[in-house]
Amino acid sequence: MTDSNETKSKSSNWHLRTDNKIALVTGAAGGLGKSFTQCLLDTGATVIVSGRRRETLEHLKSEFPDHADRIHVVTMDVSDESSVTQAFDVMANEVGVPDVVVANAGVAVSKKALDCTDDDWNSVIDTNLKGCWLVATEAARRLAGEERQGSIIMISSILGHRSAGNVAPYAVAKAGVEQLTRVLALEWARYGIRVNALAPGYIETDLNRDFFATDPGQKMIRRIPQRRLGQPDDLCGPLLLLASDLSHYMTGSTLVVDGGHLQSSL
């Protein structure tokens, strides 16, 4: 029989905290990046926000005055290998190699497949899939070199599991992210580097709010079993689980946060 004091002692450590962790959020200034940054800052992490435009990142930093000493700006184009390497050099020199990486940078093109150009395809695949590869491998290489453990969190999508019209490159990229998560988790488990994915459903942001107010948008919402859009805060708990030490025996997993959308009928 388990000693009650031992059980109490263990349970007292069950907190979604990220104290003493250095977290990198790519694509921090757009979409869900700000919410991820807020979650990590509020739970104790030092957060590096990255993106291509420094002025946008500096504006983001200014929105967290209470955490000014724990938020840092590093510019990086995730689709460019030299840019990723240089950004990690800056991080290593100024803050440290991040042991939590949120690979969030992404773009989308809304076109019918026959209307997509090579540039459309390359833009989406390079940012959403190649970008995850470059950032994850650079982080893991440095963590392994320092014999440090870490958690890499790929931001996927339910479109990596099911198909939809007019988003072919995006859906293909996210399906690739799902498989990338699994193969990297397999290879890097020996280093104590965990790789998991977070797959949101439709989350309300400034970019899609107007669309979901239209008749077609409302029809999409009615297909979600919970009959509502997700909010950025709905992703905070799952993100923190993967970032914190509570998930130390999880790797190669995907947490789907979609209001039951994947379970809806075709």
Task: Give the closest residue to 154 by CA, choosing from 217, 173, 145.
Answer: 173
**Is 202 one of the annotated active-site residues of the chain?**
no
Among 170, 191, 202, 249, the one annotated catalytic: 170
Residues 6+ apart with CB under 8 A from 124: 107, 108, 109, 169, 170, 173
Q: Is 205 exposed, middle or buried (0-12, 13-18, 19+ CB in 10 A)?
A: middle
- Tell me which residue has tokens 């440290």: 96
Whether 71 contacts 122, CB under 8 Å:
no
- Tell me which residue has tokens 């905070």: 236
CA dist 166 and 265 (Å) reads: 20
- Note the helical H segments in 45-155: 54-62, 81-94, 118-125, 131-145
The neighbour count for residue 251, using CB atoms within 10 Å, is 21
- Tell me which residue has tokens 């977070």: 198
Side-chain-side CA neighbours of residue 103 (13 Å): 34
Q: Based on DSSP, count helices (H) and strands (E) in the chain, helices before strands.
A: 10, 7
The neighbour count for residue 31, using CB atoms within 10 Å, is 22
Residue 84 structure tokens: 């990723």
CA dist 75 and 99 (Å) reads: 18
Q: Rg of the chain over CA atoms, in angstroms?
A: 19
Catalytic residues: 170
